[in-house]
Amino acid sequence: MIAVIFGPPGAGKGTQGDNITRMFGLPRVATGDMLRAEVEKGSALGREVEPIMTAGRLAPDDLVVRVIEERLRQTDAARGVLLDGFPRTVAQAEALDRMLRAGGRAVDLVLVLEVPREVLIERLLRRAEAEGRADDTPETIGRRLEVYGQQTAPVLDWYAQHGARVERVDGVGTIEVVRDRIRDAFATVGGDGRKLAS
């Protein structure tokens, strides 16, 4: 299964992505985490994306697509993945589609975590205090939400137009309550709450 967990910054993609990995055994592939790891390493790629990430803007499509392409070639991705933070633009969605189609695959489920803006801002500010992530400052949070609305939200319409299964889940509630809603959403595409493969 190729699933995408989709939603604005602060929606809970990372937390619930880990829950999905535990419930269904799908490896979580998170571009934000992968890019932060490159920044941490101080690689050429990391040096290129660091100022972009700190500003709350998007890394160039071709760079992110290359990172994903390489990741999807690894053996653990063969039986499926959960994509988190990718695709974030229509161009990335198109590139992913081409990549998957070459292997006879497609996106099976786009799971959208819906959370109102005020709650997102509250959560991101709380995370700023707890984790000190460079892009969780008040100014950058505003920019990231704006970028989401302008460049990322259109990806959902693109998936709807291209026949992907889009399931919307209310992302407000305890971690467990939201997890159970997600489990139900997976059930609609044939997941039954058990691991798909082990």
Q: Which residues contact ligand ADP by CB under 6 A?
A: 9, 13, 31-32, 35, 52-53, 56-59, 64, 85-86, 88, 92, 135, 144
Catalytic status, residue 127: yes
Q: Report which of 147, 39, 140 is spatially closest to residue 85, judged by C-alpha positions.
A: 147
- Residue nearer to ligand ADP on the CB measure, 89 or 181: 89
Catalytic status, residue 144: yes
At how many degrees (to 10) do helices 61-72 and 31-41 cross? 100
Range 115-148 burial, b when 16+ CB lie within 10 A, else e: beeeebbebbeebbeeeeeebbbeebbeebbebb
Q: Which residue has the tokens 């959960």?
A: 82
- Residue nearer to ligand ADP on the CB measure, 86 or 186: 86
Catalytic residue among 28, 36, 71, 88: 88
Torsion sign, CA atoms 36, 181, 148, 189: positive
Catalytic residue among 28, 123, 144, 179: 144
Nearest residue to ligand ADP on Cβ basis: 32
Catalytic residue among 57, 105, 133, 143: 133
- Residue nearer to ligand ADP on the CB measure, 61 or 180: 61
Residues with active-site annotation: 13, 88, 127, 133, 144
